[in-house]
Structure 1
Amino acid sequence: MIHWTPRAEFLDNTNNKSELIHLRSSTFRKHNITVEQCDNDADTSIVREALATATDDSVEVRAEDADVLVMLVHHIPSTNHPLFFTTSKGSYDVRRIREALSERERCYLLFCHAFTGCDTVSAIAGHGKTTLFDRFCAGDIDEHVDIFLDTQATKDAVIQAGTTIFQYIYHAPGIHGYEPVPTLDPMAPEELLQFTSCNCNGDCSNSNGDCSNRRCSCKRNGVKCISACGVCKGISCKNCGHDGGESGEDSEIDS
């Protein structure tokens, strides 16, 4: 019996993801397609390889991540061959995007994108990226933005510059007008703080029934495995919540 699993849940399982990467990589290599496998986030590697290849030939980068586009626009040299960034919404000429920006906008592009929200930074409440980009490039806070671009800047200098920039965003009156206030709210709802998960490498079944050998913390506590479990993700073990049958309308099948 085939158990259909939504794509997000399937890829959330580290074993599934590793096997899929291995399968696709080996298939590409059989067709003489160069593959570079990244251990962590691939954005920087994608940009580096695209720019290197564009010195000899035209390149199309297919991705849905704005971080990749921003880095391409910032780093692409004027001597490169055509480089296009393609998403599900269309294809964009990276050089034309760069040429449409002023020198100041090109200089501050990476900072503005990272500071206003990216893969690793939360967005700024109540302020959109475009509006903040225009304000940052207006020239009012250049000296503070430049600190973020200075690789020799100290931690204290970056903190002070960041605080000043937030004051500028929210029109706060001076350093004492904008002070961080620790929250008194709990980190998360109590029911989330109390859940149990495991990191078993087996099937979590503990079928021998011997309580002394129950290494699965979920099984030991009498609960089903969940998506927070390190390996099985509540999907690929005998202690998961589903009954092993086919899923209903919410399932996603990729052809």
Structure 2
Amino acid sequence: MQEFTNLSYTTSEQHKDLTEARMKRDNADVEEISSKLVVWSPFSPDPSLRNIATGVVAEEGVNVHEYESIGHKIMHKMIGQPAFTFTFRRKDKAITLGQTSSIRVAPDRTIDSALLFQRFLVVSQTGELALEEVMHYELSPFLPALFEARDIFRKADKPQLAHAICDHASDAILQSVLETECHVLDGGSLLHQVPWKRGQNYGEIAQSYADFTVRHYGSATTVVFDGYEEGPSIKDNTHQRRGHNSHHIVHFTADTEFSGKKEEFLSRDVNKQTLIKMIIAELRRSGFDVVNAPGDADVDIVKAAVRASLVHTTTLIGEDTDLLVLLLYYAQRDSKDLYYKSGKAKADGSFKVYDIKHLQEILGHDVCSQLMFIHAMTGCDTTSRIFTVGKKAAFQKLVKGDSVLQLCAGAFTIPNQTADVIDDLGCQAMVILFGGKSTDSLATTRFNTFSKKVVSASSFVTPERLPPTESATRLHCRRVYYQIMVWMGTYKGMDATNWGWDLQDNRFVPLMSRMNAAPDNLLKVIHCNCSTACKTLRCSCRRYGLPCTTVCGLCQLEECDNPHNKFLPDESDND
């Protein structure tokens, strides 16, 4: 019939996988998968559990890879249970990477220090102790005047000191600065100035920092980055605070495409340090002088700017008040013009610029060196903010010539001071900061402050509004002195554990006090009647952050798991 009708019948491959368009798309997919496998090989020797597409590394608690054994355990629990009433408990389920997005820092935040303070005061009035004697003790599970939770400093309001300096020496504050011959950049501040674009890989992000630096500051620029060492550091407390919502560690290379949010990525020091190494390589390739400090870079940044100012007019770009304080201490009188400029523009587009040499002339040599004491005493990265004591008020007391405060501030800048000298002068300074007399003790100042606030307050006086106890102040002032010695570069040979710090689990934790929270006879009134080992917050001692005592319940008959049962060294021990 085909020959008769002069027609022919033909057919083609009908399966969609054999079409030219599909084969072209498949080839493109294979190339993309191959490129991913080059960056993230599933056969690498890295034993960590991670997402090979994003590089995100799982935390220790993630166990989704053990799904089979987890499933068998759940099935075993189901045996003999009614099918329609059986429920799957969350604790029995596998934990995935997406379920561990943050890290818990302070499990003791539930402790109500104000309630415990009230109870201690009420109980003390029924005993033989006078209120003034009771005020020698903190009457709280932690020190609310210095700590917002156990072992967690109150966050310092560092810019407050810069604002106070501006108000006092407004003639030395400029809205702009003429072109200077040299720039020194704080690498930590630079990290946050450059925006990241969607779809960039980490190599392109690193290159964008070099391009940004060339475009805004020119080639005569030095960039100094912080180093993030694995060992313990006195900035561990600050890193812990900044990382309390930190996200996952990411393993990446220059070809890995960035995904997620920039601030979440930079919240982990490991991620930040790896990226910094890439940025340093690009900056050096572009001809910049780059320094990667072994630890905190503040002193290195300032010294780099001071060295440059001996030869060139120099501007230091940064955001940290520490840099301003250190510039006023380190800057040389015979140098060329030296400026400190904020990297962020104000709402009107202008920048705040500090003329360092002019500021030194206004403040004077003594105040410029004593500012380190005011800054550290009222809170920096390694010391706590003092509740109700602001940096501005402390600064004004200093510049107005308070002789006791000036004496204490000067002594804290002298190397090789003994702990006893620092303890005594620090307690005097704390009394002055709370408006007391130089002859008053801290216990007297606490009592007087409490009495005044009770008369004028419309509600109950909370413990954080009182000065810290003498024991807590001594440890705080030792940390202040140690930090000042670090800034001055004279801390070599000093052991941080002798200066207000304790080494726990390879990180430095601030010592809060060497005294019990209250007198022994008051502690005996608040006790638990636990029949178990005080493993949960049902234990009243544990809930209030107090140690168990001999008058507690059956928990004393076995090993008690109350984490607050710590040995308290004698206050008279010589560190």
Under a length normalisation based on structure 2, what TM-score does the superposition of the two structures give? 0.30
Within the candidate set 425, 448, 452, 1:161 is matched to: 425
2:301 matches 1:46: yes
Partner residue, 1:69: 324
Tell me how far apart the structure 2 counterparts of residues 152 and 135 of structure 1 sit (CA, whole Å): 26
Query: How far apart, CA to CA, are the structure 2 residues paired with 1:42 and 1:92?
Result: 20
> Is 1:151 aligned to 2:151, yes or no?
no
Which residue is equivalent to 2:387? 125
Which is greater in Rg? 2
CA–CA separation in structure 1 for the residues paired with 2:355 and 2:436: 39
Deviation at 1:60, TM superposition (A): 1.6
Q: 1:136 aligns with which of 398, 401, 418?
A: 398
Q: Give the AA of the match of 1:25.
A: I
| Separation (CA, whole Å) in 1 of partners of 2:291 and 2:444 | 49
* Aligned counterpart for 1:113 among listed residues 375, 400, 417: 375
In structure 2, the residue corresponding to 1:23 is in which secondary structure? Answer: helix
Give, as a single letter, the amino acid of the residue that structure 1 aligns with 2:381: D
Q: CA deviation at 1:182?
A: 5.2
Aligned residue for 1:51, secondary structure, equals helix
Q: CA deviation at 1:183?
A: 4.7
CA offsets 1:193-226 (integer angstroms, 9 cap, x no match): xxxxxxxxxxxxxxxxxxxxxxxxxxxxxxxxxx
Q: Counterparts in 2 of 1:1-255, with a 5 A limit?
A: 4-87=259-342, 88-89=344-345, 90=351, 91-137=353-399, 138-141=401-404, 142-172=406-436, 174-175=440-441, 176-178=443-445, 179-180=469-470, 183=517
CA contact (8 A) 2:379 2:385 kept: yes
For 2:374 and 2:270, how far apart are their aligned partners in 1? 36
Describe the superposition over 1:153-189 as per-residue Cα deviations: whole angstroms up to 9, x where unpaired.
Answer: 21111011111111112234622425347558xxxx9
**What CA distance in whole angstroms lies between the structure 2 residues aligned with 1:70 and 1:14?**
25
Residue in structure 2 matched with residue 240 of structure 1 by the alignment: none
Structure 1: how far apart are the matches of 2:285 and 2:420? 52
SS at match of 2:292: coil
CA distance in 1, matches of 2:360, 2:516: 41
Change (3 A) 1:103 1:15: closer
Letter in 2 for 1:106: C
SS in 2 for 1:32: coil
1:84 is paired with a residue of what secondary structure?
A: strand
Aligned match of 1:193: none
| Contact 2:337–2:357 under 8 Å retained in 1 | yes
Which residue in the other structure is 2:458 paired with?
Answer: none
Work out the percentage of aligned pairs sharing the same amino acid. 24
8 Å Cα contact 2:328/2:369 also seen in 1: no
3-state SS in 2 of match to 1:67: helix
Q: What are the ranges of 5 or more consecutive residues in structure 2 without an aligned counterpart?
A: 1-52, 54-198, 200-257, 346-350, 446-468, 471-514, 519-535, 538-575
**d(CA) in 2 for partners of 1:101 and 1:14?**
37
Deviation at residue 38 of structure 1 after TM alignment: 1.3
**CA 1:182–1:49: 2 relative to 1, 3 Å:** farther
Cα distance in structure 2, aligned partners of 1:108 and 1:10: 38
Count of residues in Structure 1 that have an aligned counterpart in Structure 2: 187
- Name the CA distance, whole Å, in 1 between partners of 2:272 and 2:318: 18
Contact 1:67 1:119 in 2 (8 A): no
* Amino acid aligned to 1:162: G
CA contact 1:85–1:92 (8 Å) conserved in 2: yes
Partner of 2:290, secondary structure, is: coil
Q: Which amino acid aligns with 2:368?
A: R
Select the structure with the greater relative contact order (CA < 8 A; seq sep ≥ 6).
1
**Secondary structure of 1:35's aligned partner:** strand
Distance 1:63 1:154, change over 3 A: same
> Over aligned residue pairs, what C-alpha RMSD do you find?
2.6
Once the two structures are superposed, residues 38-75 of structure 1 have per-residue CA deviations (whole angstroms, 9 ceiling, x without a partner) of 12111011011111111111222111100011100121
Distance 1:22 1:103 in 2: 38
The amino acid of 1:119's aligned partner reads: D
TM-score by length of 1: 0.65
